[in-house]
Amino acid sequence: MKKCIITVVGKDTVGIIAKVCTYLAENQINILDISQTIVQGYFNMMMITDIGQATKELGEVSKELETIGEEIGVTIRCQRAEIFEKMHRL
Amino acid sequence: MINIYEVTETNQMIEQENLDVRTITLGISLMDCIDSDLEKLNDKIYKKITTLAKDLVKTGQDIEQEYGIPIVNKRISITPISLIGAAACKTSEDFVTIAKTLDAAAKEVGVNFIGGYSALVSKGMTPAEEALIRSIPEALAVTERVCSSVNVGSTKTGINMDAVKLCGEIVKATAEATADRDSLGCAKLVIFCNAPDDNPFMAGAFLGVTEADAVINVGVSGPGVVKHAIEQVRGQGFEQLCETIKKTAFKITRVGQLVAGEASKRLGIPFGIIDLSLAPTPAVGDSIAEILEEIGLERVGAPGTTAALAMLNDQVKKGGVMASSYVGGLSGAFIPVSEDQGMIDAVNAGSLTLEKLEAMTCVCSVGLDMIAIPGKTKASTISGIIADEMAIGMVNQKTTAVRLIPVIGKDVGEIAEFGGLLGYAPIMPVNEFDCSDFVNRKGRIPAPIHSFKN
């Protein structure tokens, strides 16, 4: 298992989750957990994913997700989970 | 499991509060390059650096991409060249050839600075060490990425006043050699007391002889994150303030530890230390001065500044130490003037003086850093300022340093421009009363009584 956190932040619109999930499915990235809130009209989503079986390298996934984000007007980041675990867990 | 608020907090630190890893510094020992033939020596140095560091920049970029954390600088520190070149270099010009080799190696592997064009002369100088020190003005003028340092004192040995006198002259000569670039050469030259062997930060980084063949040292940063955190406890007591700084320092340092571990694993080079530092940049919101002002000062330099800085420095260490397995380097808050917009503003407002900065260096890491002074300042006056700063380090058993830039052709009220991370600086007035009779005495200041602990 190689855990990655995908975050999507931006103006809410139709089909954000669908777009991201389609991309993840196409690249064999498994979603372990999704949480989502709307803060002051802004869409805020976090996905915990496993990219252990992914067909592409993390760097490539990260860049492609960024491009998808630009297309639908949101910011998408894909980061290894350790940065959050190290910072927030003893 | 990690929740959305924690993820948002981390990403906000990175995106809005300038959280970054300031530097991954690869320390490389050049001891096995020593040769009495200058050409062979240069050849071996170039090969060793370009072999060991060939993947450094790429590895740093991969880590940045995967974790989404900027790693601003990838750098190299090396064994002090006065030791490595001693057998081959007969003159200062010989040493300059090594500086050129280092510059070429740095460019080849893509690092922005290489530190270790250094001499450790806290008690005495060998002829090679003196030749290296005398070569510094030319070496820094003809190279772009080479950084130099001279350790002229320590708590254990006292202060080598002959070296202090020489260094005052060398700072002045370095300024003159780069007069066409606002004396930029001096921004790459640090005079130390108690210089650490494992410092990852430029311009004072070198790899001491106590270190392994290669080692990864990491410097963290994050003044903006600390400032944002303490805005949430505005008006509350010191207990809440200190707790907030400690927790924030812990979080910042954990990121550094993660990056250091990852870099070490990928490069197959052992992890050395994390330098627990708050290192400012000229970017707005990335300032130590702004933290001190948020603590409750109208302007940095006001009464209370030294106490606030002492507290900040201590809390950063307390929070950071637990977050890292090994801590070293300079560790603490840096107070460079040109690299910190809040410091520049305080100087311009007449709140911050050279003397107040000197007092502040008693309680934080390093010393008089990136301070522009009039180009007409006498070499003996610069030596006097160096001696004062070295005395603070020697007596307080801490590292102190001097990175002064006498800007040739400019005077108080004018601005020196260095560009990039080095920023710009208003030229500050210097006490002009003479100290040359003091500086011209020969020999050294003995080690203080409290250094005799055996």
| DSSP letter for each residue of B353-413 | -HHHHHHHTTSSSS-EEEEEEETT--HHHHHHHHHHHHHHHHHHTS-EEEEEEEETT--TT
Q: What are the phi and psi torsion angles at A22 (to 5°)?
A: -60, -45
pLDDT at B283: 83
Q: What is the pLDDT of residues B32-79, one digit of tens each?
A: 999 999 999 999 999 999 999 999 999 999 999 999 999 999 999 999
Any idea what the Cα angle at residue B448 is, between residues B447 and B451, rounded to 5°? 85
**At a CB cut-off of 8 Å and minimum separation 6, what does B233 contact?**
B240, B241, B244
pLDDT at B34: 97
Beta strands at A3-11 and A74-80: parallel, antiparallel or unpaired: antiparallel
pLDDT at B393: 97
> Taking CB atoms and an 8 Å limit, are A44 and B258 in contact across chains?
no
Tokens of B415: 């601005």
A59 residue type, one letter: G
pLDDT at B341: 94
pLDDT at B244: 97
pLDDT at B285: 84
pLDDT at B218: 96
Distance (Å) of CA B202 to CA B77, B110, B180, B366, B434: 9, 16, 22, 12, 31
pLDDT at B423: 84
Distance (Å) of CA B282 to CA B114, B194, B305, B316, B336: 22, 28, 20, 21, 10
How far is the C-alpha of B299 from the C-alpha of B350, rounded, in Å?
10
pLDDT score of B222 more than 90: no
The mean pLDDT value for B6-31 works out to: 93
CATH code of the domain covering residue A44: 3.30.70.260
pLDDT at B332: 87
pLDDT score of B91 more than 90: yes
With cut-offs at 50, 70 and 90, classify the pLDDT of residue A3: very high
For residue B66, which residues of chain A lie inside 8 Å, CB to CB? 58-59, 62, 79-80
Helix (H) or strand (E) holding A66: helix A58-72
Structural domain spans, chain B: 25-193, 216-440
Helix (H) or strand (E) holding B218: strand B214-220
Q: Is B22 helix (H, G, I), strand (E, B) or coil?
A: strand
pLDDT score of B184 more than 80: yes
**At a CB cut-off of 8 Å and minimum separation 6, what does A18 contact?**
none
Q: What is the pLDDT of residues B206-221, one digit of tens each?
A: 999 999 999 999 999 8
Any idea what the Cα angle at residue B193 is, between residues B192 and B199, rounded to 5°? 60
Count of residues in chain B: 454
Domains: count for chain A: 1
* pTM over the 0.90 mark: yes
Any idea what the Cα angle at residue A21 is, between residues A20 and A22, rounded to 5°? 95
Q: What is the pLDDT of residues B255-298, one digit of tens each?
A: 999 999 999 999 999 999 999 989 998 888 899 999 999 999 99
With cut-offs at 50, 70 and 90, classify the pLDDT of residue B111: very high
Tokens of A79: 């980061």
> Taking CB atoms and an 8 Å limit, are A86 and B257 in contact across chains?
yes
Which A positions 10-49 lie with beta carbon below 8 A of chain B? 33, 35-37, 44-46, 48
pLDDT at A13: 86
pLDDT score of A40 more than 80: no
Tokens of B314: 């201590």
- Which of A36, A40, A79 to mutate to test binding with chain B, by most B CBs within 10 Å of its CB? A79
pLDDT at B277: 87
Q: What are the phi and psi torsion angles at B109 (to 5°)?
A: -90, -5
Distance in Å, alpha carbon of A4 to nearest chain B alpha carbon: 9
pLDDT at B356: 97
pLDDT at B421: 72
- Which of A38, A74, A88, A89 to mutate to test binding with chain B, by most B CBs within 10 Å of its CB? A88
Q: What is the pLDDT of residues A41-71, one digit of tens each?
A: 788 999 999 999 998 999 899 999 999 999 9
> Taking CB atoms and an 8 Å limit, are B8 and A85 in contact across chains?
no
With CA atoms as reference, report the closest residue to B148 among B119, B125, B122. Answer: B119
Architecture of domain B25-193: Alpha-Beta Barrel (3.20)
pLDDT at B95: 98
Distance in Å, alpha carbon of A46 to nearest chain B alpha carbon: 6
Residue ranges of alpha helices (H) inside B124-277 are: 127-142, 161-177, 223-231, 238-267
Size of interface A-B (CB pairs under 8 A): 64
Nearest to B8 among A44, A80, A89 (CB): A44
- Which of B63, B66, B71, B322 to mutate to test binding with chain A, by most A CBs within 10 Å of its CB? B66
How far is the C-alpha of B331 from the C-alpha of B32, rounded, in Å?
30
With cut-offs at 50, 70 and 90, classify the pLDDT of residue A76: very high
Distance in Å, alpha carbon of A83 to nearest chain B alpha carbon: 6
For residue A33, which residues of chain B lie inside 8 Å, CB to CB? 1
With cut-offs at 50, 70 and 90, classify the pLDDT of residue B355: very high
pLDDT at B153: 98
Q: Are residues A9 and A78 in contact, defined by beta-carbon separation less than 8 angstroms?
A: no
> Taking CB atoms and an 8 Å limit, are A87 and B68 in contact across chains?
no
For residue A62, which residues of chain B lie inside 8 Å, CB to CB? 65-66, 68
Of A10-24, B110-124, B175-189, the range with the lowest mean pLDDT is A10-24
> Taking CB atoms and an 8 Å limit, are B251 and A81 in contact across chains?
no
Average pLDDT over chain B, rounded to an integer: 95
The mean pLDDT value for B116-137 works out to: 98
Q: Is the CATH code 3.40.630.30 the one for domain B216-440?
A: no
How far is the C-alpha of B4 from the C-alpha of B11, rounded, in Å?
11
Q: What are the phi and psi torsion angles at B285 (to 5°)?
A: 85, 5
With cut-offs at 50, 70 and 90, classify the pLDDT of residue B370: very high
Q: Are residues A10 and A19 in contact, defined by beta-carbon separation less than 8 angstroms?
A: no
Domain ranges, residue A23: 3-87
